[in-house]
Amino acid sequence: MTRKLLFIINPKAGKKLGPTLLPLIEQKLKGKIAYEVAIWQNINEFNIISNKLFSENFTDAIAVGGDGTVNMVAKTILGKNLTLGIIPAGSGNGLARSLGLPMKTENALDKIIEGRSAIIDNGEVNGIPFFCTSGVGFDAHIGNLFATSVKRGLKSYIKIIRKEFFSYKAKTYKLKFNNTEIERTAFLITVGNAGQYGNDFYIAPGAKMNDGLFHVSILRPFKFYEVFGLLIKIMRRKADMSKLIETLACSELIIERNEKDVIHFDGEPAFSEKNVVFKCHPASMKAIIGDGFKAS
């Protein structure tokens, strides 16, 4: 099939690639692969871009931006005969990293031109699609604070974490999965379709994007002196070996809470009902991959 690419650019993304990216696209693709560019200026106008994407015989939707942009493009093409491509331009770039794509713009564009792809799963939390991680607890709390922060980027994210880390209180949850019911007091519960949040910060290193399962990490309350060892294991992709983290695998999960609270999906926050329902949808989307992609 002859390819036709639509580059969907968020000009507000962290790296602000627009001025340098457009000449690079023309240099590499002109006369080789048909393409067009759409600038996503307003969050409420994405329907204009999606209508163009579906009505003009595009084969690939290329998201240029951070995790929020990627999530919007990816969930738009779920169930459609389109391939997702990513040029990472955010602070975390979780899905791009999980797909093994390079972080350097030119190299990511080379992978898009190459067009090697894989079929991956996606998750759903209370009806909202996600592709890397979702969950409740501290990470959802931080996602909510970061979303309202004036300053963006990794430094701002780390600053918020430092401020909140030791004041946040663990909460009690009831988990239902695989005909089993357990109750846990947890600092956070992360449901991983992929292993990382972003920035190669692996909270669920056993997760694979095409195994039809979630890998769930339950982080119990901890002492101050245990933090350093926990972080070392996470950075070394050995979080599941920490005595502080309980892991489980399932394709569906219900988390019951005592009150309505925030959740996150790929880092984006939303307030949700007390009950949070997660479902894994196997083989739901085709995505361009890089050399570092780990298949199940």
Query: Does residue 197 contact residue 92 with C-beta atoms inside 8 Å?
Result: yes
Structural domain ending residue among the three candidates 89, 115, 141:
115
92 with 215, same domain? no
Helical pair 18-29 and 105-114, crossing angle rounded to 10 deg: 40
90 with 164, same domain? no
55 with 164, same domain? no
Structural domain ending residue among the three candidates 115, 142, 169:
115
pLDDT (0 to 100) of residue 153: 63
Number of domains in the chain: 2
Structural domain ending residue among the three candidates 69, 92, 115:
115
pLDDT, tens digit, 9 for 90 and up, residues 109-167: 999 999 999 999 999 999 999 999 999 999 898 877 877 665 666 677 778 787 878 88
Give strand ranges (E) for the chain. 4-9, 34-39, 60-65, 83-88, 117-125, 128-130, 133-137, 171-177, 180-186, 188-192, 214-219, 245-250, 252-256, 261-265, 268-272, 275-288
pLDDT (0 to 100) of residue 275: 96
Q: Is residue 193 part of a domain?
A: yes
Q: Is residue 216 part of a domain?
A: yes
Tell me how far apart the alpha carbons of residues 216 and 41 are, in angstroms, rounded to a whole number. 36
188 with 278, same domain? yes
Q: CATH number of the domain that 50 lies in? A: 3.40.50.10330
109 with 137, same domain? no
83 with 170, same domain? no
111 with 211, same domain? no
Structural domain harbouring 23? 4-115
133 with 261, same domain? yes
Q: CATH number of the domain that 168 lies in? A: 2.60.200.40
In the Cβ-directed half-sphere of 197, how many Cα atoms lie within 13 Å? 20
pLDDT (0 to 100) of residue 265: 93
Q: Is residue 20 part of a domain?
A: yes
Say how far residue 12 (Cα) sits from the centre of its chain: 18
Q: Is residue 175 part of a domain?
A: yes
266 with 134, same domain? yes
226 with 102, same domain? no
What residues does 271 pair with on adjacent strands? 262
pLDDT (0 to 100) of residue 16: 62
55 with 146, same domain? no
Q: Is residue 295 part of a domain?
A: no
For residue 61, give the nearest of 282, 286, 294, 262 by alpha carbon: 286
pLDDT (0 to 100) of residue 141: 87
Q: Is residue 296 part of a domain?
A: no
Regions of the chain with pLDDT less than 70? 13-19, 148-154, 296
pLDDT (0 to 100) of residue 60: 98
For 173, other C-beta atoms within 10 Å of its C-beta total 20
Q: Is residue 290 part of a domain?
A: no
* pTM of the predicted protein model: 0.90
Q: Is residue 292 part of a domain?
A: no
Supply 214's token pair. 């979630």
191 with 77, same domain? no
